[in-house]
Structure 1
Amino acid sequence: MTDTHAAENLFNLLDRWSSDEDLRESGKVRLLCHQPQNGDLAYLHRLYPGLGSAQMEDLEAVIDHQIPRRLRDFYGLTNGLRLFEGQVSVNGLVKDFSRDPYRPIPICIEQGNRLFAAVRPQWHQQGFFRIGGVSFIRQDELICGPDDCVIVLNAESGEPLRNYSDIFDFLVSFTKEMAQFWASDGKFIGDWEVIDQLLLGVAGKA
């Protein structure tokens, strides 16, 4: 059963940009806060249709790991996501690739994990797998362990930068950090240098 409290904490934060979009309707794509100044297809946040039980088995097969409980709850609500113009991206199951820009799909989780197993064997052998990335600048790696813990790895050194109890803890913390830099209409009101310092800065939990 999904931990509705953990999910609701995240949805409550994203509601600021949702307008009339029902964030909690997990059966459809949810495009939040259109940014016409950035392009016709630009949105501040993107959530995708959640996965059913059969799709969850497919996801476990392509990453060759069992999905822990909280992450399973997350994928039941949205098959990956992109927040704050892609400053954080949680990858998802992609079985039907499309070049149609009007058909939103998540970043494929399978490709990233093939590389992760080869480049980060010490983490892979402990049961960790890659679920996404953080920051445009360095593209740090977002990984999840068998106990649901989520860690941000420095893309260059492979050293852990931040640790979270689970995917919802990470996303809520990240959203609270980044919310100050975007207005409710999706316009950027921050400083990219400050964001880079936050995302790429000191070790430890946010």
Structure 2
Amino acid sequence: MGRQRTKPAPTPPTTTRGRRTRDALILAGREVLEQQGWSGFSPEAVAQAAGVSYGTFYTYFESKDDLLHHVVRSVAGEMFASSLVPTDTVEDPYARIVESNRLYLRAWDQASKVLRLADQGGAADESLRKMVLEIREFYVSRAEKGLRRLQEEGLANPRLNPRLTALALGSMVEQVAHSRDSLDEPFDDEMVLDHLSRLWAAAIGLRGAPDEGWAGGRG
């Protein structure tokens, strides 16, 4: 058996200084993950990047896995906040699709390194897998709600299952964003945004979309 823990498990800091130190370790953990990957992600490396002692790390986190979970939660929170389309800024349905995709792609670009590592680690870590699923659920449920509203207004194909359609189209956008990073595709940001938005609108049969009725115009 390994040594039993001789000190109590870390608890959330109650002082401003404590919160700043913990936040600095979370930020440093993210930087180490993004720059060095799993192989470089260690309490020693994170403590050094944060400018604190090795022992200070264990004041706030039980292990590097504990820190990893905090890093993923932090990244997910930033991604959610930066990808929300204000309800009072865009009224046109197609413009909302474009803006939603624009914000998502930008947020994904900032969070992708950590989220891809979390996705890989989820195969062996149930709590990490649940966090990744929660992130996906946030976007799927948001798209599902938007599609239901368009169907109720008579602007989208009513025969589509909103949940399945949101899942399929969300997976499309996520996979394209991932492929751009992994395969180094030469398409610029505006072309990717334009095509993903057109494909999304065409898939749901959005009335008033740029490509609506294109087949009828063929010679």
TM-score (norm 1): 0.28
TM-score (norm 2): 0.27
- Greater fraction of residues in helix: 2
- Greater fraction of residues in strand: 1
Larger Cα Rg: Structure 1 or Structure 2?
Answer: 2
